[in-house]
Every structure is written in C-alpha cells, then in structure tokens.
Structure 1
Amino acid sequence: MAFCGVDLCGVKLIMVLLVVTSFMSFIPKGDAADDKLLGASFIFGDSLVDAGNNNYLNTLSKADSTPNGIDFEASGGTPTGRFTNGRTIGDIVGEELGIPNYATPFLAPNATGKNILYGVNYASGGGGILNATGRIFVNRLGMDVQIDYFNITRKQIDKLMGASKARDYIQKKSIMSITVGSNDFLNNYLLPVVSVGARITQNPDTFTDEMITHLRNQLTRLYQLDGRKFVVGNVGPIGCIPYQKTINQLNENECVELADQLARKYNAKLKDLLTQLSENLPGSTFVYANVYDLVMELITNYKKYGQYAGIIPCGPTSSLCQDRDKHVFWDPYHPSQAANVLLAKQLLDGDTKYISPMNLRQLRSL
C-alpha cells in the first residue's frame, strides 16, 4: 500500500486479521517452551498489517512519523510503523485470542529468541503477491521474500523447541494470516502511466489468473513449512476508498468501476483456490475472510456503526481530527482504529457471510 499507505489498506481491512502486530512486544508471560503457550500469529501481507518492518527499509512507504500511532497505547502514542492511528485488526484479534505479545516485525532487532514463539510479522507496506508490485516505493517485501523470511524463523523455532515439538507447535497452535492483493491492482496493474502497457498485453482475467497462480505456490510453501491453519483475506472494495474517489473526482456514494470489478473477479477465484487447497493439502484449514463485504458494509452504513464522519479521512494528510473514533478511514487508504475494532469483531465471532467456513475463534480452537 503506499506512501502513507497506498497499500490500499483501507480496503483490506481485511483481515489482517488475526494477526498480532507491533514492533514492540509485551513482556512474555511464561517460559517460551511452556506447553501452555496459546500459540502464535505469523502475519504476511501489506501495509494493512505492517507493524514496523518498513521502518528498517529505505522505502517511500513508511508510517514512522506523527500523527501515525497517536492512539496506540502500547507505545504511548509514538509511531510504530503501523499505517493507522492505533491498533491494526491483527493487534485486536491477537488480544482477543489471548496472545500476550504483539507479533514482532521480522526486521526488528528483538525478533529473536523466545519472542518469536508468540508470532512474527513479515508484512510490508507496498508488498504484493507479484514481485513487481510496489516497485514505485523503491523497497518493500513481497510475499516471496516474506515466506523466505518465515523459513528462517521456522529453523529458529526448531532450535528453540526441538524439531518434533516445533512441528507440533506450528501445525496445531499457530495461525498463518495473509492480507495481500490490493497492491497488485493499485500499485501495479492500475498504476497510472507506468502500467498502461501491461493492461494492453494482459486483460483482467489473465492478470488475476497470474495472481492466483503465484498465491497458490506461496500458500503451498507455507504448508510445506508446517503451516496448517490459514486465514486469507480477499481484496476489499478498492474502487470505493477515499484515494480512488478523490483522484477520479467521484461523489461519496460512487466507486471506480474498473478497480471494483478487478477486486470482485480476483475474490471469486481466491475463494475457489482456498477450497481446492483445503481439499488437496492433508490436515489444512483455509479460512476465507470476506473483507470486501465487511468494508463495503461499513462504507455504506457508517452512521449505523457510529462512524458519523463517513469515509472522510481523519489524518495524517488532513487536519488531525479530535473525533477519530467517528471516522472509517485514517488516511486515504487505511482504516481507523475504530473501524478496525468493528471489523475484527466480525472476523472473530461473525457468521459465514463474512468469514467461512468458520470464524477465528473456531479456527484457533481446532
């Protein structure tokens, strides 16, 4: 996602979901090798769930300046690299699931030792499924690189727990959370000027097929590294976020049709992919997080949820508002903490309209 987020995160709210992210960790509660460990969240994706990895990259996609993080209590309001004013959906979900630490960003100095047993965050603002995605930001971690990094973590966990115990811990007590895909459209296929040639040679079907092929390989790699519980968010209504409405001079109740069409086309293929993987990879469970409908519901009926300011961003590019809990979006791309709380609740406890075949509490209990 980007500059302060053209990661289109506001869209993916998705889900991120279950992840617990922050480059700051709470003090561990108990020994890392303790059998009573509740498990870990291993988080992959873009700026919606980046908890600080981009702080350690020379990149144009950063959230390391105020007022980002102004409402993040764990840091006392200091920016942590999160592309929002407070907690991400992943933070909220992790707290609700009882994990005592926020997942440590892989590139942070403290991503070592027992800290990693509570989870590691590999997400990167600007990252995508395809390696070419996000190149306008100079540096970012795409999904292939993020999984390479997880392979490093995986070996470290073997050393900490022993191979047999580590395998059991990853398979039975850990969740792989993937929030990715929006950038492949906004900062690749739909990128003004730069991607005109690509749209001539690749129609929407061909491009979304390429995304699905790459994601299939990436999820299969995570399975081969002992991942068994997965939650994968679809792409939100990217044609309806403030950024798209502004550059296309649309009214509040209008959306950019091409962008929205691409999201819907990809989402249908993603749902089929996750069904296939669940059937073909023994012992796996792939949960489909319907971020598209979740975010669209919030955008359409924001007053119903107390978001009286609608989709008008609250900061940091706009004048900082005092009523941040009344805004759906923090900036033109990313949701506010208040919106994340509403979205996380549906992911944790919602029915199959928003998360299927089970919600996150049920996935954790498997």
Structure 2
Amino acid sequence: MLVLIVLLVEELGIKELLPAYLDPNLQPSELATGVCFAAGGAGYDPFTSLTSSTISISDQVDLFKEYIRKLEEEVGVNRTNFILANSLFLSVFGSNDISNTYFSSPLRQVQYDFPAYTDFLITLASNFLKEIYELGARRIGVFSVPPLGCLPSQRTIAGGIERKCVAMYNEAAELFNRKLSKELNSLNKNFQNSRIVYIDVYNPLLDIIVNYQKYGYKVGDKGCCGTGIIEVVELCNRFVPTCPNDLEYVFWDSFHPTETVYRKLISSILQKYVNKFV
C-alpha cells in the first residue's frame, strides 16, 4: 500500500513524487513539504521487520524525530510546530504482520491464537500513534489491512488447486480491521485536537477483485509479472517476463495491485475521507 500513499500525495497536488527521507539526494528545502519514512516489509510487530531485514516501526519513529530536528533547523521551531499540526500523516501497517509473520511463521502461532495476536498488534499500533501524536502529529490516516486471502500469493499458498480466496485469511483481516477501527475511535476521544481516521481499503479492493470484469479487467487472480501466482517485488525485474498489457490485470505481482487499481482506490478515499481531516 506504500504505492497508494505516493499516488495519493500526487493526486492531492502536494508533490509529484514523495521522496524517501533516507534518499541521499533529498534537499533540506523538501522537508517542509513532506517525506516518506516507510520501509517495505515492515509491520507493527518488530519480528515482522526483523525477518524482512527492513527498518522497524520504532526506527521509523526515530527517523521522524531526526526529521523534526532538521526541519527546526531549516524553518524554525514555530513553523515546524505549525507544519506538524497541519500535515497529513498516513500509516500503512498490518498486512505483513498477518500474512508473513503470523500465518507463515510458527513462532507467533505458538505464542498467540489469532485473536490474541490481533490484540497484540492493536496495542503496538496504539503505542505508535500515541508516540507520533506526542511528537506533533494531529491529522493521521490509518489504512486498514486489505483482503489478504484474495491476493494471488495467498491463493497460491492456501487456496487449493482452484486457487480460491482464502476465507480464513480474509476473516483474520476483517477481525484486525474491526479492532483497529474501534481503537482509533477511542484515541480520537482521548487525543485533544486530533483527527485520526480509519481508512477502509479492504472493501473497495475486495469489490474490484471479485467483480474485476465490471471494472474492465480481464484477470483478477494472477499478477502481471511472471507466472503471476507467487512472484513478489524483487522477483519482478527486467529478466522476468510480464504480461503484454497490465491494464487488463488487477494485480501487478502476486501481492500488489496495478497502478490503475491504486488510482481507483484513491478516488474512493478522496470521496469518503478527505473531509474528515478538516
């Protein structure tokens, strides 16, 4: 869903490209108009980032603290506080925790049943949001987990010969999403002058996947890259064949939607949620 955020920033007219905070070519003048701290493969659960060898959520918060110090040097403390209070913060975590850490690794299954694991994740999510609130964030959009059971990779792993949507994975995502939405409502009541918004991508994406032909797609259960059933990220490269026309596909690889699907989700988000941050 990181791509979704980058495209959303573009659609809002904030920036043509949201730069990574760790980009060595990032200019100090760009700090005031937004940067990205995200790392692919990260999660609320520290074990998720550890197994993916990526930047953890706590390390991302540390980078945010460093960013604030640099921004203060660039524009001053008062202007920095104004920017933080009026900026839109977007948070996308959870999918890797559920699909990669819980269902694909025995460690967490030994420690928790799934309802208990979602409680663990919600506590971590709440702590993260409290921390960035204390650092000055006031308008925060938190994305739901998508319908994980209908992703091509999960269909391949657990969907049987027919590669059907995995009901158990979708039910797990729905349980987490319900708890996340409830927690955000609670935080909104306790965080003064805050706008913390639950952004549902589960239902609009599920509708596109299930009714893909209605949306003009020809393939809804495989990605455009390679075989479309298991390749993800690095395995989709210039040496791997891709489909002739990605406009016909819901998914680019076996985990991530194509750009046209992301843009449909953005349209839905703009219609439903933008006014809630005002």
CA offset at residue 198 of structure 1?
2.8
The answer to which structure, 1 or 2, has the higher relative contact order (CA under 8 A, 6+ apart) is 1
Q: Secondary structure at the match of 2:73?
A: helix
CA offset at residue 322 of structure 1?
2.0
Instruction: Supply the AA of the counterpart residue of 2:224.
Output: C
- 2:253 corresponds, among 331, 348, 357, to 331
- 2:264 corresponds, among 319, 325, 342, to 342
Amino-acid identity (%): 29
Contact 1:104-1:110 within 8 A present in 2 as well: no
Other-structure match for 2:23: 108
Other-structure match for 1:226: 136
Q: Secondary structure at the match of 2:48?
A: coil
- Whole-angstrom CA distance in 2 between matches of 1:198 and 1:310: 31
Contact 2:91-2:142 within 8 A present in 1 as well: yes
Corresponding residue pairs, total = 266
- Whole-angstrom CA distance in 2 between matches of 1:273 and 1:113: 36
CA offset at residue 313 of structure 1?
0.7
Q: How does 1:306-317 map to 2 (within 5 A)?
A: 306-316=216-226
Other-structure match for 2:41: 126
CA offset at residue 258 of structure 1?
2.6
User: Is 1:200 matched with 2:200?
Assistant: no
Q: How does 1:183-198 map to 2 (within 5 A)?
A: 183-191=96-104, 195-198=105-108
CA offset at residue 134 of structure 1?
3.8
Contact 1:111-1:120 within 8 A present in 2 as well: no
Q: Deviations over 1:34-92 (max 9, x none)?
A: xxxxxxxxxxxxxx31xxxxxxxxxxxxxxxxxxxxxxxxxxxxxxxxxxxxxx22232
Q: Secondary structure at the match of 1:104?
A: coil
- Whole-angstrom CA distance in 2 between matches of 1:254 and 1:235: 19
CA offset at residue 253 of structure 1?
7.5
- 1:162 corresponds, among 76, 85, 91, to 76
Contact 1:128-1:134 within 8 A present in 2 as well: yes
CA offset at residue 182 of structure 1?
0.7
Determine which structure has the larger helix proportion and give its number: 2
CA offset at residue 254 of structure 1?
2.6
Q: Deviations over 1:156-175 (max 9, x none)?
A: 11111111111011102x11
Q: Deviations over 1:274-319 (max 9, x none)?
A: 1011110000001111111111111111111111222321015653
- Whole-angstrom CA distance in 2 between matches of 1:134 and 1:155: 25
User: Is 1:89 matched with 2:4?
Assistant: yes
Contact 1:133-1:188 within 8 A present in 2 as well: yes
Other-structure match for 1:254: 164
Contact 2:249-2:258 within 8 A present in 1 as well: yes
- 1:180 corresponds, among 57, 75, 93, to 93
Contact 2:37-2:60 within 8 A present in 1 as well: yes
Instruction: Supply the AA of the counterpart residue of 1:336.
Output: T
Instruction: Supply the AA of the counterpart residue of 1:190.
Output: F
- 1:142 corresponds, among 34, 51, 56, to 56
- Whole-angstrom CA distance in 1 between matches of 2:209 and 2:256: 13
CA offset at residue 249 of structure 1?
4.4
Q: Deviations over 1:206-243 (max 9, x none)?
A: 11111011111100111011100011011111111100
Q: Secondary structure at the match of 1:339?
A: helix
Contact 2:102-2:108 within 8 A present in 1 as well: yes
CA offset at residue 101 of structure 1?
4.1
Q: Secondary structure at the match of 1:231?
A: strand
Instruction: Supply the AA of the counterpart residue of 1:94.
Output: V
Contact 2:225-2:242 within 8 A present in 1 as well: yes
Q: Deviations over 1:133-179 (max 9, x none)?
A: 14333x2012111111111101111111111111011102x111001
Contact 2:218-2:249 within 8 A present in 1 as well: yes
Contact 1:278-1:284 within 8 A present in 2 as well: yes
Other-structure match for 2:181: 271
- Whole-angstrom CA distance in 2 between matches of 1:165 and 1:330: 41
Which range is displaced more, 96-105 or 114-123? 96-105
Other-structure match for 2:238: none
Contact 1:113-1:160 within 8 A present in 2 as well: yes
- Whole-angstrom CA distance in 2 between matches of 1:343 and 1:251: 30
Contact 1:176-1:230 within 8 A present in 2 as well: yes
Instruction: Supply the AA of the counterpart residue of 1:320.
Output: T
Other-structure match for 1:355: none
Q: Runs in 1 of length 4+ with deviation above 4 angstroms? A: none
TM-score w.r.t. length of structure 2: 0.90
Instruction: Supply the AA of the counterpart residue of 2:254.
Output: P
Structure 2 gap ranges (5+) = 229-240
